[in-house]
């Protein structure tokens, strides 16, 4: 399928640039989505983050180079984009379990990590409740935090942000000023190629006052999936959307935020919706 072909083309780009700087925005362009959406898709499809995959591929090839015996460790470190031999040694030992200087010895065991090839896999049928809705632009009000361009660096940022908002009363204050649709506590990832990446905890409302930040969610078409369970089940639903629904849906990612709508924010008995911005694939 075209969607899977694009992902595999992006894998070819990575292989061709393992000794260069890999441009995440270029990967997104190959897959027809933003760098953020590309990284999310990759993580859910491959089971590891994009940055970790690239590290493993580099370390796998570095071991082959060291076994050939023609290059110094410092030269191979520079070849694969490490600013210092110390950083390279740390990454190499983390992956292979031995120091780079030990690889040239006869009989030394190292790891090999092959390039990923994506294919559509037929799985057991799982129901997903969703609807497609086109909505006008709407304003959200809340607090935000900057996000790193490598999404694995944000894995602590978002949970800590929710924890702080719960403790310091932000969530309660936001609930009090929510007055327009969608009526729920929102987690909004604004991660396009034109703006500073941000994550918002917010509500849709008309009166921000001086305490909160505002952002206008652009008019978009959304695939809206509903679910219940714990906060962990939100991540499971998002993975299911990307690995099972999106490849065969006839849609692809649009350039708009991802939104989680918490209709009942109880972390152990949540009712929520996941909004994925989509556009019909071109014929």
Q: What is the mean pLDDT of residues 188-196?
A: 88
Average pLDDT over residues 164-190: 94
pLDDT of 195 higher than 90: no
Share of residues in the chain with pLDDT > 90 (%): 68
Q: What is the mean pLDDT of residues 246-253?
A: 89
* Prediction pTM value: 0.86
pLDDT confidence bin for 124, thresholds 50/70/90 = low
pLDDT, one tens digit per residue, over 78-120 is 999 998 999 999 999 999 999 998 887 667 889 999 999 988 7
pLDDT at 209 over 80: no
Q: Tokens 């992006």 correspond to what residue?
A: 10
Contact (Cβ atoms closer than 8 angstroms) between residue 226 and residue 263: no
Average pLDDT over residues 193-199: 88
Q: What angle do CA 22, 27, 32 make, to 5 degrees?
A: 165
- pLDDT at position 142: 96
Per-residue model confidence (pLDDT) at position 4: 83
Q: What is the DSSP letter of 211?
A: T
H-assigned helices in 128-279: 157-167, 170-177, 231-240
- Range with the lowest mean pLDDT among 30-34, 101-105, 264-268? 264-268
Q: Is the dihedral angle over the CA atoms 70, 74, 75, 79 positive or is it negative?
A: positive
Residue 277 is predicted with a pLDDT of 97
Share of the chain above pLDDT 70, in %: 95
pLDDT of 122 reads 56
Model confidence band, residue 201 (pLDDT cutoffs 50, 70, 90): very high
């Amino acid at each position: 399928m075209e969607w899977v072909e694009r992902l595999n083309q992006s894998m070819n780009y990575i292989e061709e640039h393992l000794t260069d700087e890999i441009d995440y925005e270029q990967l997104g362009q190959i897959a027809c989505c933003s760098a953020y959406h590309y990284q999310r898709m990759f993580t859910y499809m491959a089971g590891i983050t994009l940055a970790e995959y690239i590290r493993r591929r580099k370390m796998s090839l570095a071991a082959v180079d060291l076994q050939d015996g023609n290059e110094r460790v410092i030269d191979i470190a520079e070849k694969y984009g490490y600013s210092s031999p110390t950083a390279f040694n740390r990454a190499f030992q983390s992956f292979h379990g031995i120091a780079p200087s030990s690889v040239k010895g006869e009989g030394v065991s190292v790891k090999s990590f092959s390039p990923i090839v994506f294919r559509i896999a037929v799985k057991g049928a799982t129901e997903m409740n969703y609807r497609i809705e086109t909505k006008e632009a709407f304003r959200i009000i809340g607090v935000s935090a900057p996000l790193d361009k490598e999404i694995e660096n944000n894995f602590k940022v978002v949970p800590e942000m929710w924890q702080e908002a719960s403790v310091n009363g932000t969530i309660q204050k936001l609930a009090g000023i929510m007055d327009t649709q969608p009526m729920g506590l929102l987690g909004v990832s604004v991660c396009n190629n034109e703006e500073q990446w941000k994550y918002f905890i917010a509500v849709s409302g008309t009166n921000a006052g001086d305490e909160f930040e505002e952002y206008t969610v652009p008019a978009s078409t959304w695939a809206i999936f509903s679910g219940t369970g714990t906060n962990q089940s939100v991540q499971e639903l998002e993975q299911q959307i990307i690995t099972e629904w999106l490849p065969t849906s006839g849609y692809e990612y649009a350039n708009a935020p991802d939104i989680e709508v918490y209709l009942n924010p109880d972390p152990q008995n949540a009712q929520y919706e996941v909004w994925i911005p989509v556009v019909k694939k071109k014929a």
